[in-house]
Structure 1
Amino acid sequence: MTIYQNLLGEEFHKLHPKLQARYALPIDVPFFAIGMMSKIETGARWLTPFLKFASNWKFLFPENGQDVPFTIKNTCKLLPNGEVEVYWERTFYFKERTRCFNACMSIDTKRKVVKDYLGEPSLLYSDLTFDVTKEGRLLIRSGFQSVVIGEFEVPIPRVLEGRVIVEEGYDEVRELFSIHVFIHNPIIGKVMAYAGEFKEQSF
């Protein structure tokens, strides 16, 4: 059973069937898709140095754009300690450079959250909660966050967090998955936002 099925329980079956298939993720059988981001936007210009710094860890990045091709690959792995982990690889093909946004997710069954380690190697940790909308879309929100420094994690004050909202759905008419991501901070506003569509491909 995938970490997402485990986390959502009966709610998992309320997802659109295509989303259920997408998040079933058998061990070592990747989900791979190709798509187009209709828009990618970052926040205030003074954030650019931070976003450039984060890009060195395959995390956030400073580029903006419209109609940006991208790929997404999710691979479920069984770790030596018996824990199940999902490796996320998101690649954005801007005209002048390629950017990656990678992460590793596992589950905390006691707290009922997904543990999301962002970047490669990990630069930021975030709790994620998963919910299903009445339309059968997947809604993801961030919670507690910390900065990862080697083996140590330093909690980030709530007021400084980059709060994340993700909504993923499926368009039956066009046979495409849709994705909307918004990252913001209560003080500085938008950090990054992107929206697009993608279609599963054989891998």
Structure 2
Amino acid sequence: MTIYQTLLEDDFARLHPMLQQRYALPVDEPFFAQGVMHQIKSGAKWMRPFYTLAAKMRFLFPESGEDVPFTISNTCRVLPSGELEVLWERTFYFPQKPRHFDARMTIDPIQKIVKDYLGTPALFYSDLHFTVTRAGTLVIRSGKQRFVLSCFECPMPRLLEGRVIVEEGFDESKNVFTIHVSIHNPFIGRLMMYAGEFTQQSK
């Protein structure tokens, strides 16, 4: 089983069948899709130095836009430890330059969380909690977070956390996957939001 099947157990079967297929992710068989982000919103302009640094590490970025083409690739691979890891690679094709948003996910089957390292190299870490709605959509919410400084990690104060909510579904009328991501800080406000749709493609 993949990490998401292991994590969700019986709830995995409650996902929309197309989401079950999307998150099956056999080892070394990437899921690749293309689509459009109908809306992308970055954060406050005064945070641009942070976004500029984050963009270099393939994390957040300063641009906002509408109807931005993008691609997503998910690859499950076996680590030297024998643990399964899923690599997330998202590319947003803005007119000026492409931007990237990478992540590496493994699971803690005891705590029932996904362990998410954000950026390349990793800049932040977050626990992720996965749930399935009655409609068969996948909802992901962030938990505890840490700063990642090379081999060191330190807890992030709650006032600095980027609280994440992700909703991923499948629109049968349009035959597309749908995605809505919100990253919000209780003190600063919006850090990033994007919403769009995509379809699986042969890579």
TM-score, scaled to structure 1: 0.99
Q: In 2, distance between residues paired with 1:52 and 1:166? A: 24
Q: Which runs of 5+ in 1 are unaligned?
A: none
Give the corresponding residue for 2:108: 108
- 1:132 maps to what in 2? 132
Cα distance, 1:16 vs structure 2:
0.1
Give the corresponding residue for 1:85. 85
Q: Deviations for 1:58-101, whole angstroms, at most 9, x for unmatched residues?
A: 00000000000000000000111100000000000000000000
Equivalent positions of 1:166-185 (< 5 A) are: 166-185=166-185
Tell me which residue corresponds to 2:195. 195
Structure 1 residue 109 displacement after superposition: 1.1
In the alignment of these two chains, the number of paired residues is 203
Deviation string 1:24-69 (CA, Å, 9 cap, x unpaired) is: 0000000000000001001211111111110010000000000000
Identity %: 62
Quote the RMSD (CA, aligned, Å): 0.6
What's the secondary structure of 1:24's corresponding residue? coil
Secondary structure in structure 2 of the residue aligned to 1:52:
helix
**Aligned-partner Cα distance in 2 for 1:122–1:34:** 25
TM-score (norm 2): 0.99
SS at match of 2:74: strand
Instruction: Give the secondary structure class of the aligned counterpart of 1:27.
Output: coil
1:151 equivalenced with 2:151 (yes/no): yes
Gaps of 5+ in 2: none
Residue 114 of structure 1 deviates from its aligned partner by 0.2
Structure 2 CA distance, aligned partners of 1:107 and 1:148?
A: 18
C-alpha deviation, 1:19, in angstroms: 0.1
Displaced runs of 4 or more, over 6 A:
none
Question: Within 2, Cα distance between the matches of 1:36 and 1:66?
Answer: 9
